Amino acid sequence: PLALATAATRVVRLVLGLVILGAYFVMDEAGRNWALLGLIPLATALVGWDPLYRLLGIDTRKLDLR
């Protein structure tokens, strides 16, 4: 699997996911369904890879120049 590039990438996804999920508690019923989308960046941050990267062929790892 293609790993996320850096710890910073994972932290950004984690914070973004938590902020979006936090909106769940302040939105009306219809908005709560949208707030559940925060599970996606949260899960990719915790797991450390993004399946969308694989589908698109994106590799954010640094090249090994040895």
Residue 20's pLDDT is what? 93
Residue 19's pLDDT is what? 94
Summarised one tens digit per residue, pLDDT across range 2-57 is: 566 678 888 999 999 999 999 999 999 888 988 999 999 999 888 888 887 778 88
β-bridge partners, 3: 49
The set of residues, in sequence order, having a beta carbon less than 8 Å from that of 39 and lying 6+ positions away, is 17, 21
DSSP strands (E only) in the chain: none
